[in-house]
Structure 1
Amino acid sequence: MKKVMERMQEPTPKFFKTIRNLGLVLTAVGSVIATAPVSLPAIVITIAGYIAVAGGIASAISQTAVYRDD
């Protein structure tokens, strides 16, 4: 079994690159909304936080996907 750092340095399949990029966009959007200098309802801030976390997790997990060696 490959170590995580070795997997993250290998080429990532196209599908997972797309997932990674969408995750990065979600993280950015959620972070911008959560830290907006204007007054927003608490539910919007809460949802933005969840979106940012979900985007970060999707990006991190999709980065470890590699082509099968079989």
Structure 2
Amino acid sequence: MQKLLKQLEKSNPTATEDEKIAYVNDETTPSFKRRVVGALQAGSEAVIEEFLDNPYVNVGKAVVKGWIKPEL
């Protein structure tokens, strides 16, 4: 996810959080999403924050939470 967000930042440095979430959703596979969701469910947010350890952590958490509980 970090690499994707950095790519987006280069092409669109003013992207909103919603645009970032949409971009990551479009660029990731269902298998990757399942693995990330499983990791989040198995651990706590603190573990994910430590794993990501960068300024994109809030967007990354928002993406994962969106995958867990998608809006209907």
Q: Same fold judged by TM-score > 0.5?
A: no
TM-score when scaled to structure 1?
A: 0.32
Which structure has the highest helix share of the two?
2
Rg larger in 1 or in 2?
1
User: Higher relative contact order at CA 8 Å, sep ≥6: structure 1 or structure 2?
Assistant: 1
TM-score when scaled to structure 2?
A: 0.31
